[in-house]
Amino acid sequence: MGASSHLQNDPRPGSPVDHQPTTWGEMIKKWPKQTFLIVGNELCERFSFYGMRAVLTLYFFNILGFSKSSSTVLFHAFTVICYTSPLLGSILADGYIGKFWTIFSISIFYACGQILLAFSSIAPSESSHHPLLDLLGLLIVGLGTGGIKPCVSAFGGDQFPAHYTRMISIFFSMFYFSINAGSLVSMALTPYMRSMSCFGNDSCYPLAFGIPAFLMIVATLVFMSGSYWYRKVGPKENIIFKVIGTIGSAIRNKLSSSSSHHRAHWLEYSLKGHDCSTSPECRELHGNCAQRRYIGDIKQLFRVIVMMIPVPMFWALYDQQGSTWVLQAIGMDANVFGWEILPDQMGVLNAFLILFFIPIFQSVVYPAIEKCGFELTMLRKMATGGVLTALSFFVCGIVQLFVNSSLPYVPMANEAHLTIINTHPSCDFQVYIDSRDPFDLPRKTGMNPEDLVTKPIVFNDGEHMFQPNITFDNNSSPNCPKFTAHPTFVPSNSYVLTLSPTGWTYNTVKPEKPKSGNGEFGIGLNLIVPCDKIPASVDWEQCNGTEGYSGNIAMCKVEENEVLDADICKPNVKGKFYELSKTSRLEVHDYRTGNTSNYGRSYAPIDVRPGSYRFFYADGDKKKFIPLNLPEMKQPHMGGVYLVTVSQKTQNDADVLATTESLVCHNRVSILWQIPQYVIITAGEVMFSITGLEFAYTEASPQLKSVVQALWLFTTAVGDLIVVIIFMLDIFSDVAIQMFVFGAIMLLVIFVFILLAIFYYEYADYSNEGEEVLTEKMMIDDEHTRI
């Protein structure tokens, strides 16, 4: 009696008299304070993961030196690991050590991976540490983030009594907010961090990876600080293993069963040897067979799995926001009303729009459609969302067609490309190349490049050979030279043949757009000035008789109202001082005698921020700068590649002149044109992904919801694996075609989905199951679906 009385007056949470709080005051009083530590942990962890992943594609591309295709493969392979490893985390937590110790141990492992990646990024790109340490760090991070993914939110729900449904709902809203807050802030900040300068480099990936690593350490410490107060539920039967075991048992029994023991469904063969009279679960159901009902739940699970067929293809498209869409943005004009948007910052748009679209669709879009008399079932929403996702890739492909117009002309394996530049100040030429029709070659003047890029002349191993005869006639003055050049070209290379006042020369060039994603343009320089014409003030030992100038050339940014002298060169100021290093000699061929001199110098292109620049001879210590006496070169655009040619005005003149040729067009398409594809794919996400998660969880039985959770996460891994396979096959040479094909495949998958949906006659109803709370439905911290 005393014990009974004691229970009836027990005020502790979870006791029989502990009613669910209904007012804010009661909820605040009874709120488990340790849950704030779990929310803080999730905020830091999501910042860590999304911050690192936001810059990952550009890190592969720029620092590790992988191609665009390989960078995409590695990005999606990493995502495959992130969404396969939740299965391991779930098994470890449910079957062996429980959620708390799973989160704690894997978080330490996770933080080590982030630290290793940040440490590896400090090493120069040519270091032997790359890419082994980077990929090892990413493997650890992928296993870590996936390992804790199915545990953290569920562990937070464990802190509440099961009947505190209102407080549990509020907690998961807080948890959901922390996911989006962490991802939104990190996706905006880490691209900015990597665009900074550090360790002598123009980028700072150690900071972009180091801050997420630090926050993962903070996340682990925050989580551990609540250890004393946490309610720790021990391991239980792993439902995933149980389902797999049941399926395996059914298959084995069916194969060994005689034909006389036929069953209505192959799963029912798992009932062989089952005795309801000895089963505690069956006795609790007062005559009903628990195992038979469990088999029925698995049958329903298979129905749900069939309807999840299009889900991997959705993720195959959706996750390319972090790979192919970022690479597309590199080729676009990121200047927006004086502000510069980094290509890897555009993903913030999706994170922002999803928060905006969810209430809009729930309160405005869906009710408006239903008022028009169209019933919006979950499967219809998913079908519409899939079509929108496909549409976003068609829009992306159209944008890419315009981006393609500013891409460089790249020679194929059996081709060589030639661009001819006439820098002679007083002569126009007519050019004859073997049997081709002649064409006019007007003179180029001025330091500021033209927007128009002349299509190069193509030589191949067929009609037009790699050792052509190029004859130059003139139609402007009898004093202009007439001559024939005999250059030799190597396949798969691009060349520039330059006509200067003192002779002609040619050299290889690389028509590659800047790829760092920092808004630069590329610029190289050909110096065709002999030593005796270099200013006498260049008195350090960098001119050697007929060998020409052997020092570097400095580019110094001219700010508005700044004095134009050597003081504008500030070697320690990133973004305002650049140095071009000579790469090879240029043989200068005299027009009349045919003699060859080696005083020319070629300087490889470097990436430079837009602005106005002057050129200087620079000594090796960067303490003395002598101007080249050239006008400013003004370049407000990003993405172009230019070649500056500096030469004597005449044979006997010490003055120099310079011309600038556009080898690659600047980025013409504004990055704002990516907004429509982001808007459309986000709308598709709301209708497809979020509704799909709702469908999977409401259609699965309460005891199999953890299995559906694991399967839902695994569909992301399968989707990214599809991308990995397609890109490894390397079947697309045009990104626009690639986008159209992905969109078409998505439409085909959705068509199959619609056919399947037609035969999904009846939705499941588990409203009378008597389960305490369907908390598993809300325990998904899947950042894509953002419940």
Q: What value does the mean pLDDT take over residues 168-191?
A: 82
pLDDT band of residue 742 (cuts 50, 70, 90) is very high
Picking from 250-254, 366-370, 391-395, which range would have the lowest pLDDT averaged per residue? 250-254
The DSSP bridge partners found for residue 661 are 643
Residue 719 to residue 770: CA distance in whole angstroms: 36
Last residue in a domain, options 663, 687, 705: 663
Give the distance from CA 82 to its chain's centroid. Answer: 15
Candidates 421, 510, 507, 413; CA nearest to 460 is 413
Let me know if residue 502 belongs to a domain.
Answer: yes
Specify whether 142 is located in the same domain as 227.
Answer: yes
Residue 1's pLDDT band, with cuts at 50, 70 and 90, is very low
**421 and 392 in one domain?**
no
For residues 46 and 161, membership in a common domain is answered with yes
Is residue 211 domain-shared with residue 97, that is, in the same domain? yes
Tens-digit pLDDT profile for residues 101-143: 999 999 999 999 999 999 999 988 888 888 999 999 999 999 9
**CA–CA distance, 513 with 331 (Å, rounded to integer):** 8
- Same domain? For 485 and 538 the reply is yes
| Counts of helices then strands in the chain (DSSP H, E) | 23, 20
Kindly report, residue by residue over 379-428, the tens digit of the pLDDT.
899 999 999 999 999 999 999 999 998 899 999 888 999 999 998 888 88
Which of 130, 95, 111, 663 has its CA nearest to residue 406? 663
Does 435 lie in the same domain as 562?
Answer: yes
Specify whether 567 is located in the same domain as 642.
yes
Answer for the pair 115, 107: CB distance below 8 angstroms, yes or no.
no
CB 676 within 8 A of CB 398: no
- What would the mean pLDDT of 779-787 be, rounded to a whole number? 40
pLDDT band of residue 542 (cuts 50, 70, 90) is low
Please indicate, yes or no, if residue 718 is contained in any of the structural domains: yes
Both 178 and 294 in one domain: the answer is no
How many Cβ atoms from other residues are within 10 Å of residue 437's Cβ?
6
Which of 628, 663, 698 is the C-terminal boundary of a domain? 663
Q: 30-87, pLDDT tens digit by residue?
A: 888 888 999 899 899 999 999 999 999 999 998 898 998 999 999 999 999 999 998 8
Q: Mean pLDDT throughout 723-728? A: 93
Q: Which residues contact 524 (CB under 8 A, 6 or more apart)?
A: 509, 580, 602, 603, 604, 605, 606, 641, 642, 643, 644
Q: How many domains does the chain contain in total?
A: 4
607 and 505 in a single domain? The answer is: yes
**531 contacts 601 by C-beta, under 8 angstroms:** no
**How far is the CA of 326 from the CAs of 53, 330, 347, 562, in angstroms?**
12, 7, 8, 37
Only one residue has tokens 């990413």, namely: 138
Domain boundary among 598, 633, 663: 663
CA distances from 721 to 422, 690, 711, 734 (A): 51, 21, 15, 21
Handedness of CA 711, 713, 719, 723 (dihedral sign): negative
- pLDDT confidence tier of residue 3, bands split at 50, 70 and 90: very low
pLDDT-derived band at 562, boundaries 50, 70, 90: low
Torsion of CA 377, 378, 384, 388, to 10 degrees: 150
Asked whether the beta carbons of 509 and 583 are under 8 A apart, the reply is no
CATH of the domain at 96: 1.20.1250.20
pLDDT band at 772, cuts 50/70/90? very low
pTM of the predicted structure, to 2 decimals: 0.85
One domain for residues 49 and 167: yes
313 and 301 inside one domain = no
> 386 in a domain, yes or no?
yes
Task: Give domain status of residue 495, yes or no.
Answer: yes
Which residue range(s) make up the domain with 281?
A: 242-305
Q: Would you call 504 helix, strand, or coil by DSSP?
A: strand
Kindly give the interhelix angle for 705-729 and 311-318, rounded to the nearest 10 degrees: 60
DSSP 236-258: ---HHHHHHHHHHHHHHHHHHS-
d(CA 468, CA 738): 37
Residue 100: which residues within 8 A CB-CB, separation 6 or more?
155, 227, 230, 232
Same domain membership, residue 746 and residue 622: no
pLDDT tens digits, one per residue of 564-586:
565 788 888 888 889 888 778 88
Cα separation, 132 vs 120, in Å, equals 9
